[in-house]
Chains A and B, each alone.
Chain A
């Protein structure tokens, strides 16, 4: 019997970089294959080659025994391959039905709206997707949007589904729903490639796992016999699963005190963060996290209540005054809000302090001081770039975030507000970021750590606040945290 998909010796280069360096991959019908690897390990490139978005430099692809070469996404789809991208390929202004019809030959050149809507309804029922055909995408949660993509794949009679980091934006209950949908698809004989760098999910849902590192396959194993530590080591070449060393310490006095603090998109919030303490904020993205961090950083104007930092009322203070009082901020959108992508590493490192030494002398900028300082920070924070003059946009995501960390942490802040600080980073870089945040806590700073990755929040927080609908549903100590309960709170269900 031939395999559903056989990729042999795939090579794809970008300039001198061999993103895929002779990769073999086989997927069987009715199997879920986990494709593990860090960012930049070649997972996405391999899948883009398969889906016809990038031509390979060498290698062959056979799908259901038939060769697939020189193809475009259209041919891949016609052959029965569906790709569910990490960023959904949906048109927000259009309804579920319209998105299903887009580019689908069965919808007809003259659109058969009613007929397609009926098929959407029926398929949604059969697979437990719970989708209304006439709702615009803009009104759907990310979990629902993902199901629209899965629905599109099912209706297009795809035999192979590729899911790229499918759980990265989902709340735990949504992840559970997704995994059960995948199992149902598997039982109907579909082949699935599950791309992820999250080990627990891969272990839970996959039958086999293939690990990529630096463009090569470094391991393949049935999930049944694999251990988490083994897989992690194959991924990064070292064991990074050891838990974070969050040494219990008696927190100091309160450094941040919010009393009934309210702002656009925020219900009145009250909380305290003490020196040497990390308050983690868990929650599904879009439940007020951005409004919260912006309110503390001074970008979202307070409408009521008070915010006190080390005894000073900063409720209505300007951003500059907050920075002067010792606040550091790592926004979620590092490409736009934390960094000026087209400027150099050295320039980004001086952004907040450009009026002071060593960056400035009087009215003039000090180029030599800037370069010296940048070299030191690049060494201290392990920023891998060609030099201080390298353009920031050319750096990997992990190194960009290290630039932000270096800038924000080197000032030894009193308070760090970090939002999705490890978002999109691979395990190695995540580890670096979290270790630095913990280091800051151990040095006595107060840290507000906001992330939609529950595991991350649990790993490094002294206390955990769960956010839903712009309010804190609950604040619990880490020792008292009940994962299932937190999941329910995140999904917006009261205790």
Chain B
């Protein structure tokens, strides 16, 4: 009897074991070969990592400040237009850019849809967009979309972010809104309309791009168009402006009562007499100050020549570095062997800092341009939040070919601004600085008050110190 029970027990245990084993095998079959493991290091993370790692050597030279627009304005279809210049309301513009960049994340990213518009179509669309509700941004110079995107969102891991050059853009709502009803603190009902947004961008060569996305801000903390068709964002403290649709860049005007007159003193920095400054400059470009051949010119300029490259220092503060052979040239060390725009910008900033050209001034990235197969990176200066540049030419220009710097032209200046000013229109201090080759001078604003409330015809005059009327 007991023996039978034992046999039955064994049978039951064997049954149970086989059943459990079968379940386990089924689970292995279903889940073990079911699909790709959820990789912690995916291909898209790898792509981002390669890009970031490539610029890693130079990452400490980067700052998101380089891509913050010079001007941000909010345009309402009812005619209201308020905005601020980064030069004079730096913190405000920084905050605005941070808030508004939520729209750039989706439209400029890899998932956004980009299309190129013809000039006529672009101009028509530009006028249409800026006549309605929109956010207008004007960048300092021209920047590739990828630079704007990845400097604004450094942790982004998108692929296929293009390099369309952009100098201005307008963010505008599209399609039918999603209506959100909620209750305010007093128990009253509030209604908000949330829209999908697109971005229309253009550059100074007349190229227009439309970036589209289905993204709709999800929360009330995001910036949105409310029922009154004005942004929810706090725009207090900003000034009203007008611009010519065709040329927003220089055609902007501001009410006269918002204006004041800044002053910047400019002194070319002659470093030819300083052994320390000269050796620092030469060695930043890989030229041995002690061992290189020197050539003195009649105008006081000095050239330091080594095999394959040379640097020429002028007495008016100009520096010209030229590569003349394969042996010369400052090489980029991107780590990945494939230099990208990040490396070029980073290397330029590194050289500016190493050479002393950036001492006591702030830098402004004014543009990145293709010059045939080469790439040019151009910087201007900023003195006490006041932009100083030489039109599109820039004051610090670097030209790269592949992994190598082939030319650099620097203009060294000591600059001083006597006061800080508020509410100055861009046309008063941007891109109008004409380089006077001799003597000390300063930038003074000249402007004409036109009809009505607008200031028109403003410009800068570069004058020698002796010619400045000290009234």
A and B are interacting partners: no
